[in-house]
Amino acid sequence: MIPLRVIGVAHGILFLSAGMEYQELLRDTAVEPATVLSVNGRRDGTVVRLDVGRDEPRLTVQLDPRATFRDGPYQMRLRRPLQRSATKAYAVASVEPAIATNAAQTGED
């Protein structure tokens, strides 16, 4: 599980950021087609891109037009990649709002 924070939302695109300590792990992570943003078991968007060329890696999510934007902490789950992404050790399994107990653990110092 990788904690994420919202750094922006515009025109149906949600921008999430992971801390610098996750940069190396995310360099070895693929984004595969149809990776979901899940809210309460409902698909609220699709992960489009993972940009690790920054100090804080950024995840870009295309929100479903019917989705209601939720501000607050999110988390990313990783899994083994599908065969077509096998050049990376991990793939993004899903992105979801962080549960309350995890939210306290992801606060900044």
pLDDT, one tens digit per residue, over 61-89 is 999 988 888 889 999 999 998 876 668 89
Q: Contacts by 64-70 with C-beta closer than 8 Å and gap 24+? A: 65/12, 67/37, 67/39, 68/44, 69/9, 69/14, 70/39, 70/97
Confidence of residue 58 (pLDDT cuts 50, 70, 90): very high
Nearest to 31, CA basis, from 47, 42, 15: 47
pLDDT by residue (tens digit) across 1-51? 899 999 999 999 999 999 999 999 999 999 988 888 988 888 899 999 999
pLDDT of residue 39: 85
Indicate yes or no: pTM above 0.85: no
